[in-house]
A and B are shown apart, each in its own frame.
Chain A
């Protein structure tokens, strides 16, 4: 290490008084000095707001009523949220969105990755084209798809007509209760499947070719190779993709607001939209804080369990 000329140059360039001070510090202190700004930043932008939110969640505070006396209400906000039918309706809508988007994105994303992983002409071009949707802004995508879903002029309805013969004006993807939950699933799948594909592709490309060569020598069929080599080796990557998409979609907001605004009725009112309305339209700050804490605990808890499972799969 002492032979490193860079170290010598840095040492020579350090003012003697500073060098003297640093020499007087232990390694542990120096380490703390390096991480202190990050810890301070973390405390300021993550931990403090979290503690403040928990504190607010126990009050009746409203941001738009600064002159009102703030009262401590205990766990009343939590009780109201958990006994409110609308909360559960919203959680159901979120669960539907979460389950179906993840399922479709994993299936299609993995299939695309499997195909792209094969060498063929135009491979790079196809990869670029496939990943294009995830490069767009969700708000733009939401707006764009409202036109595609428009019953009279939207291409989506004409595509359905082409496949089924149904009159394009006879159904409205974002205006009908039975179709609206699927309309947001379709758009999110269109936009984020490429992301899952890229993660799966990384997983597939990390599998050593020697495993397949050994399987070929043992005369294992392609089907057997797929189930005994490809899937187990790519599984940690798949699980990682599910984790990322799960967390992202649990807090999905912009895309769905642009597409349906939570409607029709409350059919696509995801928890994040519901929370935003409580916090910034109804201005029930204390209530919304409790709602946010409940959602945070839910996501954090589920994610922790999932990460443990992911680590177990990796260690296998």
Chain B
């Protein structure tokens, strides 16, 4: 009797132990935003298939970098999987905070060629343009524009615009045209309400104004450094084109944003557009599904377009989005890798898109039906084709804080000139790279 009881207990213990070793409780860390809710829904399939339980740590965007970089830098074990910002990749790779995924990708037949090239470079590679992968592209995102299609379609507005500017009112092809449209709508009475030209990024605390101003800077000729001599920035960051780009951004802020727009980022932009305050709105593509289904601006009320061209025809857009990585400090790396393997599957990626997540898998976005699957899908594709990203160096946070201060000082506070702001930025960035031993 005792022997039987002992054997039963031992079997039970082995079974329980085996089950415990198999089923893990994985924590995924990301920003608190709409796509995160879609990911919870999507991941239910993974939980059912793997037996692993997913828990989530979502932090609002304004505190996301602070909170998660603290976690990575302190070697915290809170997160097993991290959907971190693209600019973190350099620091996370060099400081051993992410697990390198090359061997895992090779062993599981996951090819980076299957993803949009810009997202692979932006989210996965460090050093850039080398086949060293630290994450799987998880969420493609890019800055673009929404506009009030219904206002643009009104005959009286169209006639007035044509009379004033000598051309039809439509999606702007250049920044000059965008400025015309913004000034045209600014402080106009529509349906008994005063509306404004455009909502743009001006947030000071985290990354907002940099993510906004870089779009016009790129379009006007800004380059991060000398293509022939890395980290040489004089004449590139503060080139004549860059100065003109920053001046344009300030002019847009001064002329056409709603009152009280001195600290606006994604959320404020969404509010301004949904409440019918602005004709144009700059924002990341992740906000577009929300507009499409909104009671006030949903359906045909809203149109979408990518960044227009600068004076020389250059068209670029600031890359957003993130890759998914396995945190090196995690004790559950094997289980975390099973999530990435599952997430990389084409049918999962297709479902990810259908739930509102911007898949970066080429099989999804190059599907013949993709461009017409949503009214913003074509704009997303067009925008992803022209992306540029901010520095992804390990010192990116220092570089970002410098641009935040210089841009906000000039654009919002109105201190100094654009040339002074960009000269100051060159000095700040040079000092940072000197500290990093780049010269």
Q: Which residues of A are interface residues toward B (Cβ below 8 A)?
A: 60, 63-67, 86, 149-152, 154, 169-170, 172, 174-177, 257, 260-267, 277, 280-284
Nearest Cβ on chain B to A138's Cβ, whole angstroms: 16
B259's partner among A60, A67, A152, A264 (CB-CB below 8 A) is A152
A263's partner among B66, B72, B262, B397 (CB-CB below 8 A) is B262
Chain B, residues 245-289, CB within 8 Å of chain A (1/0): the string is 000000000000011111100000000000001000000000000
Q: Which residues of B are interface residues toward A (Cβ below 8 A)?
A: 65-66, 69-70, 72-74, 91, 94-96, 194, 203-205, 258-263, 277, 394, 397-398, 400-401, 405, 408-410, 412-415, 435
In this complex, what residue of A is CB-closest to B260? A151
Number of A-B residue pairs having CB atoms within 8 Å of each other in the complex: 98
Are the C-beta atoms of B408 and A265 separated by less than 8 Å? Answer: yes
A260→B413 CA distance, assembly (Å): 12
B204's partner among A150, A176, A264 (CB-CB below 8 A) is A264
Are the C-beta atoms of B95 and A265 separated by less than 8 Å? Answer: no
Are the C-beta atoms of A277 and B413 separated by less than 8 Å? Answer: no
Chain A to chain B contacts (Cβ below 8 Å), 12 pairs: A64-B69, A66-B95, A150-B260, A174-B263, A175-B262, A260-B204, A261-B263, A265-B413, A277-B401, A281-B66, A281-B401, A282-B401
Nearest Cβ on chain B to A48's Cβ, whole angstroms: 18
Q: Chain B CB within 10 Å — which of A174, A176, A260, A281 has the most? A: A281
A154→B263 CA distance, assembly (Å): 15
Are the C-beta atoms of A266 and B398 separated by less than 8 Å? Answer: no
A176→B69 CA distance, assembly (Å): 32
Are the C-beta atoms of B398 and A284 separated by less than 8 Å? Answer: yes
B95's partner among A65, A151, A152, A169 (CB-CB below 8 A) is A65
Which A residues touch B398, using CB under 8 A? 281-284
Are the C-beta atoms of B263 and A266 separated by less than 8 Å? Answer: no
Given A177-B414, A261-B204, also A67-B263 (CB < 8 A): no
In this complex, what residue of B is CB-closest to A258? B205
Are the C-beta atoms of A175 and B261 separated by less than 8 Å? Answer: yes
Given A64-B95, A266-B409, also A280-B66 (CB < 8 A): yes
In this complex, what residue of B is CB-closest to A285? B73
Which A residues touch B435, using CB under 8 A? 60
Are the C-beta atoms of B258 and A261 separated by less than 8 Å? Answer: no
A261's partner among B205, B277, B400, B413 (CB-CB below 8 A) is B205
B412's partner among A67, A154, A175, A257 (CB-CB below 8 A) is A175
A262's partner among B66, B194, B205 (CB-CB below 8 A) is B205
Are the C-beta atoms of A177 and B413 separated by less than 8 Å? Answer: yes
Given A264-B408, A265-B409, A281-B401, also A172-B262 (CB < 8 A): yes
Q: Chain A CB within 10 Å — which of B65, B205, B414 has the most? A: B205
Are the C-beta atoms of B96 and A67 separated by less than 8 Å? Answer: yes
Which A residues touch B410, using CB under 8 A? 265
Are the C-beta atoms of B263 and A175 separated by less than 8 Å? Answer: yes
A149→B260 CA distance, assembly (Å): 8
Are the C-beta atoms of B401 and A65 separated by less than 8 Å? Answer: no
Nearest Cβ on chain A to B257's Cβ, whole angstroms: 10
Given A263-B413, A266-B405, also A172-B259 (CB < 8 A): yes
Are the C-beta atoms of A267 and B397 separated by less than 8 Å? Answer: no
A65's partner among B69, B277, B394 (CB-CB below 8 A) is B394
In this complex, what residue of B is CB-closest to A153? B260
* Other contacts beyond A152-B277, A266-B413: 17, CB < 8 A: A60-B435, A64-B69, A64-B72, A64-B91, A64-B397, A86-B405, A170-B259, A174-B263, A175-B260, A175-B263, A177-B415, A261-B204, A262-B204, A263-B263, A263-B412, A265-B204, A266-B409
